[in-house]
Amino acid sequence: MNDQAPSSARIYNYLLGGTDNHPVDRQAAEAFKARLPTIEAAARANRGFVLRAARAMAEAGVRQFLDIGCGLPVEPSVLGVVREVRPDARVVRVDNDPEVVPAGRGRTDAPTVFGDLRDPAAIMKDPAVTGLIDFGEPVGVITVAVWHFIPEDAASEYAATLRAGLAPGSHLAISHVCADTVPAAAQEAGKAVYARTANPVRPRTQAEIRALFGGFTLLDPGLVPLGDWRPYDGDPYPEQATESLAGVGVRN
């Protein structure tokens, strides 16, 4: 494990109150927090969106899930939430951080696979994925807090490739740091923190984030701040956050 440089997975784990992180991650997170004091609440609001989006997909009838940029394991998990709705649900977790893959091992019903969202076609033909996911049927694809770690202008092309491999009725969840709402100084602080990781960060405008949903119809309430996406009483992550926009679309 590389404990010399911070990683986005470990920084997020720390912000969520987890223990799978090192001093270098905690220092990076605290430096970021000094410039953007709401960052912990934003991380929690993001995790809440993951779980609400996954549950909504299961309630819409989706039985198989691909969680790309899944991060280090955390409870409650996507698998736990979707199985409450559909006991036969299957989840494949995918991440391009080599440390995340072994951390998620040991769960044969929700395996963690190495893969990169910049190459969705490779993910969709990986035998470890196709062994559990039938791409002839709708899939719930969770790409939450990951697109902003893909700085390339080609991100919308990667999203189009992903869409092309999915059956109609598939769902896509995205949350993304929004360049329109995060103050410029905080954006620079975030860029400085993540420049030390393998994942340089790129906030996108609302229009750029919406473009990632090309070929998908956004479900209510549309593309909104994290905490505004279908909040409910008793949510373990009730935090509000304007730093990121979130939405779920259905493939046309």
Ligand X SMILES: C[S@@+](CC[C@H](N)C(=O)[O-])C[C@H]1O[C@@H](n2cnc3c(N)ncnc32)[C@H](O)[C@@H]1O
In angstroms, what is the minimal distance from the CB of 49 to ligand X? 8
Q: What is the pattern of x (binds ligand X, CB under 6 A) and - over residues 30-69? A: ----------------xx--x-----------------xx
Q: Which of 96, 112, 187, 244 binds ligand X (CB under 6 A)?
A: 96
The pair of structure tokens assigned to 31 is 């430096």
φ, ψ at 31 (rounded to 5°): -65, -40
CA distance 90 to 16: 25
Q: By rule CB under 6 A, what string of x and - marks binding of each residue 194-233 to ligand X? A: -----x----------------------------------
Q: Which of 53, 70, 91, 226 binds ligand X (CB under 6 A)?
A: 70
Radius of gyration of the chain from its Cα atoms, rounded to whole angstroms: 17
Report the residue from 14, 149, 213, 216 that binds ligand X according to the rule CB under 6 A: 149
* Crossing angle of the two packed helices 39-59 and 8-15, in degrees rounded to 10: 90
Q: Interface with ligand X includes 239 (CB under 6 A)?
A: no
The minimum distance between CB 100 and ligand X, in angstroms, equals 5
Residue 95 near ligand X by CB under 6 A: yes
Parallel, antiparallel or unpaired: strands 224-225 and 90-95? unpaired
Q: Does 111 bind ligand X (CB under 6 A)?
A: no
8 A C-beta contact, residue 212 and residue 155: yes
Candidate list 42, 53, 89, 117; residue touching ligand X; CB under 6 A: 117
Q: Which is nearer to ligand X, 12 or 216 (CB)?
A: 12
Nearer to ligand X, 240 or 252 (CB): 240
* Residue 7 beta carbon to ligand X: minimum distance, rounded to whole angstroms: 7
Cross-strand partners of 217: 250
Please select the residue that binds ligand X; options are 116, 126, 228, 235, rule is CB under 6 A.
116
- Report the nearest approach of ligand X to the CB of residue 241 (Å): 12
Nearer to ligand X, 64 or 96 (CB): 96
Distance between CA atoms of 186 and 180, rounded to whole angstroms? 12
Site size for ligand X (CB under 6 A): 23
| Residue among 45 and 219 whose Cβ is closer to ligand X | 45
Under the rule (CB under 6 A), what is the footprint of ligand X?
A: 8-9, 12, 46-47, 50, 68-71, 95-97, 100, 116-118, 144-146, 149-150, 199
